[in-house]
Amino acid sequence: MRAKPRALILCPENPYPVRGGGPTRTAGLVEYLSARYELDAIVFHEAAPSADSQQHWSARAHAVEFVRLRPHARHAAARLWRNFVRAVRGVPPLVDRFSGYESFLQAFLRGRAYDLAVVEHFWCSGYVPLLRERASRVVLDLHNLESVWHERCAQVTRGLLAWFHRRFARCAVKLEQQRLSEPSLILVTSPVEEALVRQRASGASTFVYPNTIPYYAPYDENRFHRIAFSGNLEYYPNIDAVCFFYKNVWPALVRRWPRLEWVLIGKNPGGVQAIVRGERIRFTGAVVDAVRELARAAIAVVPIRAGSGTRIKILEAWAAGTPVVTTPLGAEGLPLQHGIHGWLARSPAEFVEAVSFLLACPTRREALARAGRALYEQSFTWEAGWCKLEMAGI
Residue spans of the domains in the chain: they are: 6-209, 226-379
37-64: b (≥16 Cβ within 10 Å) or e: bbbbbbbbeeeebeeebeebbeebbeeb
Give the whole-number percent of the chain exceeding pLDDT 70: 99
Q: Can you give the pTM of this predicted structure? A: 0.94
Q: pLDDT value at position 73? A: 83
What is the C-alpha separation between 262 and 264, in angstroms, rounded?
Answer: 7
348-351, long-range: CB within 8 Å, 24+ apart, which pairs?
348/248, 348/249, 348/252, 351/245, 351/248, 351/249, 351/301, 351/303, 351/325
Nearest to 31 by CA among 390, 383, 388: 383
Averaged pLDDT, 122-135:
97
Q: pLDDT value at position 334? A: 97
Q: pLDDT value at position 33? A: 98
Q: What is the pLDDT of residues 210-228, one digit of tens each?
A: 999 999 999 888 889 999 9
CA torsion sign for 329, 335, 337, 340 is negative
Q: What is the pLDDT of residues 53-101, one digit of tens each?
A: 999 999 999 999 999 999 888 888 888 899 889 999 999 999 999 999 9
Is 203's pLDDT higher than 90? no
Nearest to 309 by CA among 206, 205, 188, 199: 188
Is 1's pLDDT higher than 60? no
Cβ distance 226 to 263 under 8 Å? Answer: yes
For 6-209, give the CATH class. Answer: alpha beta
Confidence of residue 366 (pLDDT cuts 50, 70, 90): very high
Confidence of residue 2 (pLDDT cuts 50, 70, 90): low
The answer to whether domain 6-209 and domain 226-379 are alike in fold is yes
Averaged pLDDT, 218-239:
93
Q: pLDDT value at position 285? A: 94
Q: What number of other Cβ atoms are within 10 A of residue 158's Cβ?
A: 8
Confidence of residue 49 (pLDDT cuts 50, 70, 90): confident
Query: Under CATH, domain 226-379 is a member of which superfamily?
Result: Glycogen Phosphorylase B; (3.40.50.2000)
Cβ distance 302 to 283 under 8 Å? Answer: no
Averaged pLDDT, 353-370:
97
CA torsion sign for 140, 189, 387, 383 is positive
Reduced to 3 states, what is the DSSP secondary structure of residue 11? strand
Is 184's pLDDT higher than 80? yes
Taking all residues of the chain, what is their mean pLDDT, rounded to a whole number? Answer: 95
Helices 159-179 and 146-155 meet at what angle, rounded to 10?
Answer: 160
Q: What is the pLDDT of residues 275-296, one digit of tens each?
A: 999 989 999 999 999 999 999 9
Is 195's pLDDT higher than 90? yes
Averaged pLDDT, 115-140:
97
Q: What is the pLDDT of residues 33-48, one digit of tens each?
A: 999 999 999 999 988 8
Reduced to 3 states, what is the DSSP secondary structure of residue 31? helix
